[in-house]
Amino acid sequence: MKKLLYILAFLIAGLAILYVVIKSEPTPTYQPARSYIEGQENAILSQFLLAKDSTVIELAEGHFTLKQSLSLDGVNHVTIRGKGMGKTVLNFKGQTKGAEGIRITNSSNITIQDLTVENAKGDNIKVMDTDGISFKHVESSWTGEVSEDNGAYAFYPVLCKNVLIDNCKAIASSDAGIYVGQSVDVVISNNEAFYNVAGIESENSINVKIFGNKAYENTGGILVFDLPGLTQYGSNIEVYNNLVYENNTKNFAKAGAIVGQVPSGTGSLVLSTEGVYFHDNTFKDNKTASIAIASYELIYELGKRDKKEQKEAEDVVGSVRVINDKYTSDTNYNPYPRNIRIGKNIFSNSYLFPTINNDFGKILMIKKPFQTVDVLWDGLEDEASESTICFEKGTETVSFFGLDVLNDFKNATSDVSKYICK
């Protein structure tokens, strides 16, 4: 009898430990070495205020504190150049004027390079209505333990054309580290994104190439979204040659933000957009799924259930995207993903269990115990579309799970052969 009690106690303790392990998610801290210099704000601010076409704004080496935004408006062919990431640091902690660190509007052919922008009250670098914006060797981050009080976006070009984000770092954003919204002709290449809710996000953008990046230790690594009520809808996005791993960080998005529904442990998430092609990526140790594909309808219902729906300000472009019911009134919006093509990628996972801090993880724990899922689909689709998802020939061994959430998983399937590309 005593032996049986010992065995039961051992099993209970083991289950308790297992529960903690599969439920736990890291809350990281970013604390780079800094030695801030006071008293240089006016000199830096004057360079931005006096900038005209073809100006080169040269920023000295040093870690500088600023209390207000640096802005450019209506200028062309301007370069903002520091002495290197971590060498020229613009720190906006304690900001009292403006919400952004650097704000650029109505301009063309702007280059920002070789510097760090950190701790802005809102977005670190925001660029709007600009044709030709290049970020090169720029770090954009928030320091300390990650928090929902961090700014939403590290890099935030929106309503732009000809966007390049290359060899940059995005760290600790409460929404998306590298974000491009409602833009056309975009290249996001060779960057690092970590400790963000979303590492890299393309939203309602057209002709986007995402390649050569490392997205790790975010909640979700690479997101491709289409949301309702905006100026355009996304299409033709290619995601390739990226390393996407260990995106298991606890979701720390602000309440109501749509990225608050991104499950921890997601390598990539496609939401409602059209024409996305994944190939030659490496997905490793993302606890929930390597690639997840979902409809806005499902995300809306999850958000409504969690009482996180809130009204997005109509007159603010680039505000945190929130969950709302605009998809029912936007007659041109399609809430279902279409033409999602899965080519050859490398998938691996050393975890036996998904995290159970999200609905998808709980479903997988029940439906797919002791198995990992490479491609997870909610099963909701546009009946008028010829293809929601397809797998290229040679990918038949991919671990796939279509949930069929509309019918309470009645027709859930793991059969890849049903979805081989024509």
pLDDT tops 70 at residue 18:
no
Cα distance between residue 225 and residue 287, in whole Å: 21
pLDDT tops 70 at residue 319:
no
Q: What is the pLDDT of residue 321?
A: 74
CB under 8 Å to 119, separation ≥6 — which residues? 91, 92, 93, 95, 101, 141, 142, 143, 151
**Model confidence at 271, in pLDDT bands (50, 70, 90)?**
very high
Mean pLDDT of 276-285: 98
pLDDT digits (tens, 9 = 90+) for 104-118: 999 999 999 999 999
Please provide the DSSP assignment of 156-203 as one string.
EEES-EEEEEES-EEE--SSEEEEEES-EEEEEES-EEESSSEEEEEE
> What are the C-alpha distances in Å from 30 to residues 26, 170, 175, 308, 338?
13, 11, 16, 28, 38
For residues 110 and 127, is the Cβ–Cβ distance under 8 A? yes
pLDDT tops 70 at residue 331:
yes
For residues 174 and 153, is the Cβ–Cβ distance under 8 A? no
Cα distance between residue 25 and residue 151, in whole Å: 21
Mean pLDDT of 309-329: 58
pLDDT tops 50 at residue 397:
yes
Mean pLDDT of 284-289: 93
Q: What is the pLDDT of residue 412?
A: 83
| Among 65-79, 109-123, 221-235, 379-393, the least confident range | 379-393
Q: What is the pLDDT of residue 306?
A: 59
Residue 287: name the closest of 267, 302, 268, 304 by CA. 267
